[in-house]
Amino acid sequence: LLEQMTTWRAKLSSDLSGRYKAKYPDYEIDEAVQRLLNRLIFMRHCEDRGIEEEQLMAYLRQYESSGKSVWSKLKRLFSEYDENYDSSLFASALIDQMDIDDKLIVNVIKSLYYTPDGNKRYDFAAIPADILGNMYEQYLSHLLRKTPARAKLESKHAQDRKSVV
């Protein structure tokens, strides 16, 4: 999961930088990507624990059958989660003002459910909170460095990390 999240982060950051570099600084784009990934992980966690229905997969099936935008529907779902959970995670943010390539977001969401060969990937209900927290801490230890052509992730040493409060 850690490796997959760093890959998603790089791809999403690269996509959004290409679209919004002139409008937003890199750190704002990085924060928007982080918020998106945090939301998706939370949503999958809720689905696997039976708290919410599998709405993300339903959106993917609709996209595959109709070609209608997943991203616009996903932004509406974020608003519903904001109303239901009253959490700052789903409060209106920069990511909600951006557009993301549907094929990219579809691939990110699919990979939260299935491996490329169609096997179920992650059961978030079975991942203990301390393991998920440890993985997330390692994930945050990666520093996103931009190059002109693409986003590239580099690991920072623990002593160089800033504390996240």
Judged by phi (left if over 0) then psi (alpha if -120 to 50, else beta), residue 54 lies in beta
pLDDT of residue 133: 67
Give the Å distances, CA to CA, from 63 to 52, 66, 67, 83, 165: 20, 5, 5, 25, 38
**Rounded to the nearest 5°, which phi and psi values hold at 59?**
-65, -40
Which pLDDT tens digit goes with each residue over 111-158? 888 766 777 777 777 776 777 666 666 656 654 444 444 445 554 444
Alpha helix locations (H) across 86-128?
A: 102-111
Average pLDDT score over residue span 85-95: 90
Share of the chain above pLDDT 70, in %: 75
pLDDT of residue 13: 92
pLDDT tier at 16 (50, 70, 90 boundaries)?
very high
Positive or negative torsion for Cα 42, 44, 50, 51: positive
Which pLDDT tens digit goes with each residue over 57-85? 888 888 888 878 889 899 999 999 999 98
pLDDT of residue 19: 93
Mean pLDDT of the chain: 80
pLDDT of residue 160: 45
pLDDT of residue 67: 79
Top-confidence residue, 161 or 106: 106
Asked if 74 and 59 touch (Cβ cutoff 8 Å), the reply is yes
pLDDT of residue 165: 37
